[in-house]
């Protein structure tokens, strides 16, 4: 079963607007969440993370929100730029699994100039 789900395979936004990428999870033992960005022909790169004891973490244009009761997290990018066009993966770590991560399917973000 898919413990981390990204239900939107793709998202298209205009440059300067907000991009919101969503992720849902089913495992209540997840205690740490991460977002990775992936450009074509490259490996994923770490973007931002959040611990389950927080509900928000911000880093420049990127903010991650965590709603534990809904088992939902989202990544906000404001303002969106064409260079943000990439596949975004949500990932989660279970507190008893050490450093192992479970990834979602990914969402292709396209930012149009």
Partner 1 sequence: DAGITQSPRHKVTETGTPVTLRCHQTENHRYMYWYRQDPGHGLRLIHYSYGVKDTDKGEVSDGYSVSRSKTEDFLLTLESATSSQTSVYFCAISDYDGNEQFFGPGTRLTVL
Residues of the shown chain interacting with partner 1 in the complex, contacts defined by CB under 8 A: 4, 6, 9, 32, 34, 36, 41-46, 49, 89, 91, 93, 98-106
- Measured from the CB atom, is 15 or 105 closer to partner 1? 105
Smallest gap from residue 45 Cβ to partner 1 (A):
7
Nearer to partner 1, 14 or 51 (CB): 51
Rank residues 62 and 103 by Cβ distance to partner 1 and give the closer one.
103
- Contact between residue 13 and residue 19 where contact means Cβ atoms under 8 Å apart: yes
CB-based contacts of 93, cutoff 8 Å, min separation 6: 30, 31, 32, 33, 34, 99, 100, 101, 102
- Supply the minimum distance, in Å, between the C-beta of residue 44 and partner 1: 5
Q: Give the total residue count for the chain.
A: 113
Min dist CB 63 to partner 1, Å, is 18
**Is the separation of the CB atoms in 39 and 93 below 8 Å?**
no
């Amino acid at each position: 079963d898919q413990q981390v789900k990204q239900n939107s395979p793709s998202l298209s936004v205009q440059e300067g607007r907000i991009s919101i990428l969503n992720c849902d999870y089913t495992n209540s033992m997840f205690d740490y969440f991460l977002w990775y960005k992936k450009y074509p022909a490259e490996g994923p790169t770490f973007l931002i993370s959040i611990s389950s004891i927080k509900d928000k973490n911000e880093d420049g244009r990127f903010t991650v929100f965590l709603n534990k009761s809904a088992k939902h997290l989202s990544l906000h990018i404001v303002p969106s730029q064409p260079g943000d066009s990439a596949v975004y993966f949500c990932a989660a770590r279970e507190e008893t699994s050490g450093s192992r991560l479970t990834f979602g399917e990914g969402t292709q973000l396209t930012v149009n100039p």
